[in-house]
Structure 1
Amino acid sequence: MAYGGGAGAGSGSGAVAGGSSTIKQVKLERESELRIEVGNDAPLRLRLLNGTAEIFGTELPPEIWLNFPPRLKFAVFTWYGATIEMDGSTETDYTADETPMVSYVNVHAVLEGRRSRAKASPSDDPESSQGPRVIVVGPTDSGKSTLSRMLLSWAAKQGWKPTFIDLDIGQGSITIPGCIAATPIEMPIDPVEGIPLEIPLVYFHGHSAPSNNTAEIYRVIVKELAGILERQFAGNAESRAAGMVINTMGWIEGLGYELLLHSIRTFKANVVLVLGQEKLCSMLKNELKGEPKVDVVKLQRSGGVVSRNSKVRQNARSYKIREYFYGLGNDLSPHSNIANFSDLFVYRIGGGPQAPRSALPIGAEPAADPTRLVPVNINHDLLHAVLAVSFAKEPDEIISSNVAGFIYVTDIDIQRKKITYLAPSAGELPSKYLIIGNITWRET
């Protein structure tokens, strides 16, 4: 999660490098924010002493301590002024009085008007009863997930239940990396716990970034997810009017740009918010100008957004997988289970030629089928792999089926033909069909 409740130059005072572990108070002036990076080794407690403030669009309760885990980055923003108290160590914390929150909340106001008009329209009119379908786009580390979260929380505060769709397989705001997912947002998003996980709809891509070999898988699961949501919207006027907010990948060039256009069109987005990229905004305006009722809007990126190198991003993926099994505050107890090789069927999507050379015209090379299902033998290669548990009833349904959850392979006993794995709960898996990609994790 990039931090920053807004964009802008982010000039401010009180920057602390290395932070301190004593209790301290910070007074925030109106329309300013406190940007915080929690230390690597210990959590941070924070509370609102007076005034009003919010984190990513969710208001802070007065006088109640909130516990933020290590390494979390966030910003506390106030519209009218507030005093914040912190207890614990921070990597950095500083105040900033230049943020684009006014422009962000103006976008929210426009979306609010569209939702109200959609709700007031006849439900049998599919066009006028459709609320805003917002897609947030921009380069890596431009604050897309943060803006998405704010727009969702502000809408939920007004009583709407918008659908959040996360297409960023590298980060994973809803579930582990390597997936796309959707979930309704019924309440402002908890500043600590994040996106609720009660009823997410999850599809497994299996990789932390699409490539030439896996782009077609990405297109297929995006289309599947969009189709499911389209059917849900058709039967639910409330969800339809509330609309959706879609977070996207930071890959915006070449194949990444093609996949971005595919997502915009597949979900029939009618509002495209471009964060901090003039070139991308111009390209999308030219590309989409012939399509009716698509508004492309450029917004400033946050001055609090931090660029992350590949190692930091890899660590973030590992933390997200650990959080899936153990919880944000190590408060979950996953179960170690043992199964026979014969009880499980592991598949990889993609790989293998479509046809042998003998069946092709002379001189033609066999092309790889990116959505071909390949059975995988259970052996030591699966050690430390994170596998998706598919809802498919038959193997040929795997790519078009969503997943129930994930397991982590901790041991392979070739002689006894037993596989040991970690699962969020005890008991049998909901399906015998498992999907493997290149998502791995080493428990530390």
Structure 2
Amino acid sequence: MDTGGDCSGGGGLEEEAARREREWEEVVEAVAYDSCTWPPPVVAVCGPGNSGKSAFCRLLLNTLIARYRKVGYLDIDVGQPEFTPPGFVSLHVLEEQAKDLTILYLRNPKRCFFFGDVCAKRNPKLLLTYIFDLYDYFLKEFYCFREVDNPEKSAIPLVINTSGWVKGTGFYVLTEMLKYVSPTHVIRVSTTVEHKNLPGGTFWMNQYDADPPINLVEIGAAHNSPRHLLVKKEAKITRDLRLMAYFRQCLPRDFNISCFDDLIRGFVSIHPFQLRLSKIHVIDLHRQVLSKLYIFQKTAFI
């Protein structure tokens, strides 16, 4: 039985995986330790869905933490966020490296907004408002240069994880975000299917605008590599797991949950919080209420 072809094919995949792993590691090292990266880098990672953006972000975060001790992480992918349930836009400040880059974690954000959808199509302007607010908050609280010798108050780098929807409304949100943030680095993750990729160059700039001082880096998508970093994500399954993990925190540790039905049964079994009516005080703000209407208003409010 001739197995030479199979062995050769397997060896080719392993070589490609090793090459891609080296490519990713070289890029994150350049971003983190380039002597020109002061102030600390603001890095936007862009590319189509299932290309490995989240995996690359995890590797980049670990490398930046090793140098700066703290790293900001702005997650604007409401469909498949890294550290929160779906539907959230969030800002995190990370201080510990992930020990296992293939495990997805829930983390408490420094600040977040509930967008309420897994897609920007219904209200892209609201999503952009949330993104801009979180970025402004990061600049105010974590990108300070007044005390560069104080590690607790010095500026920290920022990694921005973007959505894999790079056409139509998704492309509009991405370009508006890049214009507003003006990152120091844009990592463009590309697949072998060219029509799925983002345009080359500073695609978010207007035709007659001067090119900003920015580092544009293109890397290959993570198909089959790097294997120890890549988490294959089926969108719906990942969202379900995120939601279950989030609400699981409200239930006893020994309560077994394997599906949404188990989660629902768990919440039904919880005794609701009870409060006597006599303990409730209603305070009316901004307007006066006639005394004869107060009882009616109080009853309707409750």
**TM value normalised by structure 1:** 0.47
Once the two structures are TM-superposed, the CA of residue 98 in structure 1 deviates from its matched residue by: 2.0
Q: Which of 70, 75, 78 is matched with 1:169 structurally?
A: 78
* Partner SS state of residue 251, structure 1: coil
How far apart are the structure 2 equivalents of 1:294 and 1:145?
A: 22
- 1:285 correspondence with 2:202: yes
Aligned residues: 241
Q: Which of 128, 139, 146 is matched with 1:230 structurally?
A: 139
How far apart are the structure 2 equivalents of 1:134 and 1:314?
A: 27
Question: Residue 193 and residue 284 in structure 1: after superposition, are their counterparts in 2 closer, same or farther (change >3 A)?
Answer: same
How far apart are the structure 2 equivalents of 1:161 and 1:332?
A: 34
Residue 358 (structure 1) aligns with: none
> C-alpha offsets along residues 325-382 of structure 1, whole Å, 9 cap, x if unaligned?
225xx84878664479x99xxxxxxxxxxxxxxxxxxxxxxxxxxxxxxxxxxxxxxx
How far apart are the structure 1 equivalents of 2:39 and 2:108?
A: 25
* Partner SS state of residue 151, structure 1: helix
Once the two structures are TM-superposed, the CA of residue 107 in structure 1 deviates from its matched residue by: 1.3
Q: Which has the higher helix share?
A: 2
Question: Residue 164 and residue 12 in structure 1: after superposition, are their counterparts in 2 closer, same or farther (change >3 A)?
Answer: farther
Retained in 2: the 8 A contact 1:281–1:298? Answer: no
Once the two structures are TM-superposed, the CA of residue 154 in structure 1 deviates from its matched residue by: 1.7
* Fraction of identical pairs, as percent: 20
Once the two structures are TM-superposed, the CA of residue 179 in structure 1 deviates from its matched residue by: 0.6
* Partner SS state of residue 147, structure 1: helix
Report the aligned-residue RMSD: 3.6
Question: Residue 110 and residue 225 in structure 1: after superposition, are their counterparts in 2 closer, same or farther (change >3 A)?
Answer: same
How far apart are the structure 2 equivalents of 1:332 and 1:104?
A: 40
Retained in 1: the 8 A contact 2:202–2:211? Answer: no
Residue 206 (structure 1) aligns with: 116
**Consecutive aligned runs of 4 or more in structure 1 exceeding 3 Å deviation:** 192-196, 234-242, 277-284, 286-289, 305-308, 330-340
The code of the aligned residue for 1:139 comes to P
Q: What are the equivalent positions in structure 2 for 1:66-77 lying under 5 Å apart? A: none
Question: Residue 243 and residue 306 in structure 1: after superposition, are their counterparts in 2 closer, same or farther (change >3 A)?
Answer: closer
Q: What are the equivalent positions in structure 2 for 1:1-150 lying under 5 Å apart? A: 12=10, 96-99=14-17, 100-114=20-34, 117=36, 129-150=38-59
Deviates more, 1:280-289 or 1:293-302: 280-289
Question: Residue 326 and residue 260 in structure 1: after superposition, are their counterparts in 2 closer, same or farther (change >3 A)?
Answer: same
Residue 5 (structure 2) aligns with: none
Unaligned runs of 5+ in 2: 1-8, 225-229, 256-266, 286-299
The code of the aligned residue for 2:244 comes to R
Once the two structures are TM-superposed, the CA of residue 197 in structure 1 deviates from its matched residue by: 2.0
Once the two structures are TM-superposed, the CA of residue 12 in structure 1 deviates from its matched residue by: 3.4
Once the two structures are TM-superposed, the CA of residue 269 in structure 1 deviates from its matched residue by: 1.2
Once the two structures are TM-superposed, the CA of residue 194 in structure 1 deviates from its matched residue by: 4.0
Once the two structures are TM-superposed, the CA of residue 307 in structure 1 deviates from its matched residue by: 7.3
- 1:300 correspondence with 2:220: yes
**TM value normalised by structure 2:** 0.68
Residue 267 (structure 1) aligns with: 181
Q: Which has the higher strand share?
A: 1
> C-alpha offsets along residues 82-133 of structure 1, whole Å, 9 cap, x if unaligned?
xxxxxxxxxxxxx83422111111112221234x655xxxxxxxxxx42111
Deviates more, 1:105-114 or 1:273-282: 273-282
How far apart are the structure 1 equivalents of 2:199 and 2:154?
A: 29
Retained in 2: the 8 A contact 1:161–1:185? Answer: yes
Once the two structures are TM-superposed, the CA of residue 150 in structure 1 deviates from its matched residue by: 0.6
Retained in 2: the 8 A contact 1:272–1:296? Answer: yes
Residue 387 (structure 1) aligns with: none
How far apart are the structure 1 equivalents of 2:202 and 2:178?
A: 12
How far apart are the structure 1 equivalents of 2:168 and 2:220?
A: 23
Question: Residue 337 and residue 246 in structure 1: after superposition, are their counterparts in 2 closer, same or farther (change >3 A)?
Answer: farther
Q: Which of 242, 247, 255 is matched with 1:325 structurally?
A: 247
